[in-house]
Structure 1
């Protein structure tokens, strides 16, 4: 608990804690002063390690920020950056994608957040913040219930596709579609809006590769290997039913002409013993009810050998057709 030793400033401290509680445990020097805390009060709180300096003139209340879950860490970092940069700043690119829950980027290293400020704005460099200065329309900035500002999913994709590689780009697009953060019919307009920006020609073909049926970056990357190798699956998340119409299985990839099922086995739920047992039951039921069906499985490790993935699909299906 935050110490109540500052008897003289107990009421101002309570006000300051209320402000911080609404801002992911953070507040500015100016906010602390407006609550009635003096310069000496703030210094004592920092000296007692009840508060810590997060960014220039931005403080974290340790009772509110320490020990939070992993998902809260980037939110705290963005709020700190907002408070340091002012009301015109908002999260963008990689940071906005993580806040929206888009899948496909590497896990955040906790070191840096990407923030956008209007192009004319002059800002000093601050450690832990990567600044981007470009024009963004007001309708392209969203606000969360806790006050975080970030680019909309569509604008986030526009900016990111100019900066990432092809496979990562398609993973992000698939994830946005799968989570219904954007609509498939909006992608052409988003691509067109990027024309004239650096990197737009390189990324232009990637928009048409998006498929919201993909449920994970591993599925997306395996699909791209197969598409590039001339062995695109005929369906994704293909359902199989028994003779009474009951769903037997929904598989990641289906090559109808090869009677071949493909599954992407990533780390996570499928690694648990109970999930593995369910997968075996499902696989046995599928093979019992669908004559001649074959099943192949791919992991993240297999992506290091795209030739192996293609050879497995081609071999299981009797060769490239």
Structure 2
């Protein structure tokens, strides 16, 4: 994603009608990006470009925040990215019909700058999202921020504990702070863990090292007594992932055979976890079912 590649049009500059419509994609009114490069971007990167395309219109008394700050920080969310840019402003705020959504605060938080744009810091961004999005999405954002060492878990818990009692989203934010874990390596792992928690499944071990009599086999996303769980179908095997495709497939089959001699294995994909039911049925078929009174948090 290259913000400098944005092309702005207007009555005093290049007119949009003069552009080759096949070569350029409209990011927002008056802002275009090379179509071939746009196609290669993921949804978060596209939203980040929307922020860059919109920011010149704003004054210094507002900060990019919430999901838009997450996009600029390179942090994931789960679900569709909004087509409005999120801002935090001091005083009165409003939502336009185009791209701006305003969040009112009495005093602006201390910002950071990304490519000259004033943005809420990663910790504030995660807390904001934990208060206004789903547990699965907020957990994915928090896990990724911890993994990138943007802040420490203790800092997250302290920030959440300081939210006023009764403030909107506080309970979800408290849950996110208790469940967040830097060991999660993808949004899919974070979402799977949120689904497990909400379904009251036994809490799994994370990033389980698997060995047999011959030594190290690999690492699995989740582990319970006698069962390993993989939510992307890709075991972390280590150094020889550089094998050519045919050799890699053969090695994976060999390793999976070794794993299954050590423990049973459950696999699921993004759609299974997103819909919840399919993933829960896969785990139930392997004996991982809801337990009354199951506690993840002390």
- TM-score bracket for this pair, using the shorter chain length: 0.7 to 0.9
Unaligned runs of 5+ in 2: 237-244
Partner residue in 2 for 1:143 = 113
Any conservation in 2 of the 1:302–1:308 contact (CA below 8 Å)? no
Displacement after TM superposition at 1:216 (Å): 2.0
Partner residue in 1 for 2:177 = 207
Q: After superposition, where does 1:1-321 map in structure 2 within 5 Å?
A: 25=6, 42=12, 45-46=14-15, 49=18, 59-60=30-31, 65-67=33-35, 68-69=37-38, 70=41, 73-108=46-81, 111-117=83-89, 119-120=90-91, 125=96, 127-135=98-106, 137-139=108-110, 141-144=111-114, 146-196=115-165, 197-227=167-197, 228-233=199-204, 235-241=205-211, 243=213, 247-255=216-224, 258-265=225-232, 277-287=250-260, 290=262, 293-303=263-273, 304=275, 305=277, 307-314=280-287
Distance 1:244 1:281, change over 3 A: closer
Other structure's SS at 2:61 match:
coil
Post-superposition Cα deviations, 1:181-238, rounded to whole Å, max 9, x if no partner, equal 23222121121232243221343233201122122232223333434434222x2111
Larger Rg: 1
Any conservation in 1 of the 2:27–2:49 contact (CA below 8 Å)? no
Other structure's SS at 1:105 match:
coil
Displacement after TM superposition at 1:55 (Å): 7.0
Displacement after TM superposition at 1:136 (Å): 5.4
C-alpha distance in structure 1 between counterparts of 2:270 and 2:222, whole Å: 16
C-alpha distance in structure 1 between counterparts of 2:176 and 2:93, whole Å: 34
Post-superposition Cα deviations, 1:158-193, rounded to whole Å, max 9, x if no partner, equal 111111122222222222222222322212112123
C-alpha distance in structure 2 between counterparts of 1:216 and 1:175, whole Å: 7
C-alpha distance in structure 1 between counterparts of 2:286 and 2:147, whole Å: 25
C-alpha distance in structure 2 between counterparts of 1:83 and 1:93, whole Å: 19
Q: Higher helix fraction: Structure 1 or Structure 2?
A: 1
Distance 1:276 1:54, change over 3 A: closer
> Which shows bigger deviation, 236-245 or 175-184?
236-245
Normalising by structure 1, what TM-score?
Answer: 0.68
Distance 1:89 1:80, change over 3 A: farther
Displacement after TM superposition at 1:157 (Å): 0.9
Post-superposition Cα deviations, 1:261-317, rounded to whole Å, max 9, x if no partner, equal 1111279x9xxx7665553232123345x3xx211112234333154144123179x
Distance 1:221 1:48, change over 3 A: closer
C-alpha distance in structure 2 between counterparts of 1:86 and 1:243, whole Å: 64
